[in-house]
Chains A and B, each alone.
Chain A
Amino acid sequence: MANRVAIVGIGQTTHSGRRPYVNDGELIYDAVTRALEDAGLTINDMEAVMAGNMDMFEGHHLNDAMLNLYSGAAGRPGFKMNTGGTVGTMTAIQGWYHIASGLYDVCLVIGWEKHDEGPATPAISTITDPAVDRHFLVGAIGGLATVSVAYMQRSGCKLEHAAMVRANASQAAHRNPMAHMREIYSVEDVMKARMVMYPLNLLMCCPTSLGATAMVLASESKAKKICKKPVWMKDHVTVHVEYGGAQFGIGEKRWTSHMEAGAKLFKRNHITKPMQETQVFEMYDPFAFAIPMWLEDFLVCEPNEGWKLIEKGALKLEGEYPVSPSGGVLCTNSIGDSAILRVAEAALQLRQPIRRCTLHQLYRRLRHT
């Protein structure tokens, strides 16, 4: 049986589009310092340090090694995660494993991105085979646009619903002082934005942001001494996807990694009505169709119901089931930091809820790869 793991310290930088006056190490240092302050600990209390970022994006190999003076990893165990958009959650999960296993009691986990230092889109495209489909991917946005078109086709969701999602996100981000795009947009504003990659217009895509987030994780015995309001990381599921037709329901029943993750997570936590048994969902929502589509795919709501929940206003900040009350990735996308920020924001929601919400409520989270 795994030991319980809590989040006891949270630190993030402000997020923005360009900060030419700092380097990536300085971002890490700021986030780490804030997380340590929040936990009331020093770097010497950290038994291991986990780092998450994508080497290709800023053009350094082993940048965690180069930047270990900023993170505090020098002289400590721990390792680097190098997945894509998921990297931040994967890094938090590595911290979880190290504590759940009993190996360490206190772990520092960090994710960061200095998005203004290089073009992420060609770097992302290198996930595909150079001989085959690399030319036809056009970064993450190409893939996200294709799933959006397919979602509209099968569910009846319209562009206007994506615009509602982005308008809701802008309201949430406006109240989050650490978010990148904090302007309020109406549905009409979003609909008028210039098209980038049909069906995604500029506001329906996540921005290119920079920032860093760090968290201190601790075992149960330490957590209660460190912090009055530890937030427990109850469970996590990771699923790898097959690149093929299954996600479009070609030749077989539609199947995605989200569905597999949602089914496993809810089953082993005995959750049968996710929208009633959980109160908030902080989603990695990098494009406006993500919220309705992935709520369905994570089995939080019924198929083809996601956009109807948007239409009813149920997913707004003040709605019955707020999704991404931080403003989400739609308003702040510092990629290497985006996913760990979701974990941090979910934890912040449980510490200082936007609405009635019991503090002992367990933190549950879904991520996909």
Chain B
Amino acid sequence: MKEKVQEELIYINKTMKIPYKWRTGEVWGEFFRELKENGIIYANQCPTCGRAFCLPKDVCTRDHTRCTDRSKWIPVGPKGTLVTYFMAEQSFLLPTTGEMLKIPFAVGIILLDGATVILQHQLEETDEEKIKIFMRVEAVIKPKAERKGNIFDIVHFKTITE
């Protein structure tokens, strides 16, 4: 198609700032309370299929069972295995903070010891040469006084040798 007018026309420049307050619900609330008060990462278990979710799930995806039974929760990690990862070498706008991502930023898909599903979190290591699939990692948890009951109570995952 041939464009007749090629020069820029008037545009509206606008940044929207919209406040939200998201409720975590029963399972996530309990997960974050344990992380904040005791520094323990929990997986909740599905009473039907027995899978241990970490990150936790309110409902099992496979059998639609509510997974709120607290007696079935088990501590997992803090050690685990790196399944895969990405490393951002270009910055992107983050919807969580409205700020640009600090690069390099490596994120791992991690299977915590004792869990049957994965979680996604930041890796301390940002040297691509030193990140190996199936390497062992461990969650670095903030000191109690600094913990707020959110996902950033886990600072990142550091590489460990065993």
Contacts and interface: CB of A to CB of B under 8 A. Distances in A.
Contact of A142 (B1, B22, B88, B121): B88
A135 B89 contact: no
A126 B61 CA distance: 20
Interface stretch (A76-84, A89-97, A117-125): A117-125
A135 B128 contact: no
B87 A138 contact: no
- Interface SS of chain B: helix, strand, loop or mixed? loop
A105 interface: no
Interface of A: 13-14, 19-21, 30, 59, 119, 121-123, 125-126, 129-139, 141-142, 145-147, 149-150, 153, 194-198, 242-245, 248, 250-251
A324 B120 CA distance: 32
Q: How large is the interface on B (under 10, 10 to 19, 20 to 34, 35 or more residues)?
A: 35 or more
Contacts of B61: 242-244
Interface in B6-36: 6-9, 11, 14, 16, 20, 22, 24, 28, 32
Contacts of B161: none
A138 B105 contact: yes
Interface of B: 1, 3, 5-9, 11, 14, 16, 20, 22, 24, 28, 32, 51, 55, 61-62, 83-90, 92-97, 101, 105, 107, 109, 111, 116-122, 128, 133, 150-152
A145 B118 contact: no
A196 B90 contact: yes
A251 B81 CA distance: 13
Given A125-B94, A134-B95, A244-B61, A250 B86 contact: no
Contacts of A138: 86, 88, 92, 94, 101, 105, 107
B111 A123 contact: no
Given A21-B8, A132-B151, A245-B111, A250 B92 contact: no
Given A133-B120, A135-B97, A251-B111, 7 more contacts: A21-B7, A21-B9, A129-B28, A133-B119, A145-B86, A198-B86, A248-B118
Contacts of A198: 86-87, 89, 128
A335 to B, nearest CB: 16
B95 A197 contact: no
Contacts of A244: 61, 117-118
Contacts of A132: 28, 55, 151
A357 to B, nearest CB: 27
A173 B129 CA distance: 34
